[in-house]
Amino acid sequence: MSLALLIGFVSMGQTKKKTSIQKKGSVSSRTSVSKSKSTKSSKSKSTRRRVASKPVARKLVKVDINSFEGQKGKLPWPVEHGIILTNFGKYSVPGVKGIQGNNPGLTIITEEACDVKGIFDGEVVSVFDIEGDFGVIIDHGKYLTIYYNLDSVYINEGQKVKGGESLGTTKINADGKGQIDFLLFNEKYVNLNPAPWIKNQ
């Protein structure tokens, strides 16, 4: 199954209703423009002192080191022992010249029937089945992690899980190895590269 369907599944139902914004003061704005044109010549003749704009102070945002974001680069892999088969983003399709794919996450090869574990504390917001492939979505507050291509699932929707807790087992690919797709989204449902978030193997 194409992972594009999975991306659509995540965004579906997560989209928020947009509120319409009414434009106000359209007449007054036109009036102010006409007045500014009439007084333009008089203002150009008068000498005005230019005041340098004050630099805007930037607020430093503190990140809780115990939060999902604070653990960036230190988060565990979703499997005990794994190798990245396909990285995030565009890649060349093996054996086909001029054709590229676009991976929305990391495709990880591991052992047969290997345990898939949640990488951080959170709540299971969805357990789904698309064409026989199971998937789990966990909400970590500002981020969502997705574990897809599972053969079996141990948890249920609405369940609170801890980091390192087993979610299910990997499905076996054509080569007889375990394989999963691991995806990451932020609170705006923007697809992120999971690689910088997990530990180096």
Q: Which domains does the chain have, with CATH numbers?
A: 83-197 (2.70.70.10)
Q: Provide, rounded to the nearest whole percent, the portion of the chain with pLDDT above 70.
A: 70
Decide: residue 137, CB within 10 A, 0-12 exposed, 13-18 middle, 19+ buried. buried
Pairing of strands 143-153, 115-117: unpaired
pLDDT in tens, 7-54: 655 655 454 433 333 444 443 444 444 444 444 444 444 455 655 556
Tokens read off for 180: 């999963």
Task: Decide: helix, strand or coil at residue 183.
Answer: strand
Helix (H) or strand (E) holding 56: none
* Cα–Cα dist 9/15, whole Å: 11
pTM for this structure?
A: 0.72
Look at residue 5 in the predicted model and tell me its pLDDT.
54
Q: Provide the percentage of residues in the chain whose pLDDT is more than 90.
A: 58
User: What pLDDT is stored for residue 201 in this prediction?
Assistant: 74
* DSSP conformation letters of 74-140: TBPPSSSSEEEEE-SEEEEPTT-TT-EEEESSEEEEE-TTPEEE-SS-EEEEEEEEETTEEEEEEE-
| 8 A C-beta contact, residue 58 and residue 69 | no
**Six-digit token pair at 165?**
């807790």
**What phi, psi does 4 have (nearest 5°)?**
-60, -35
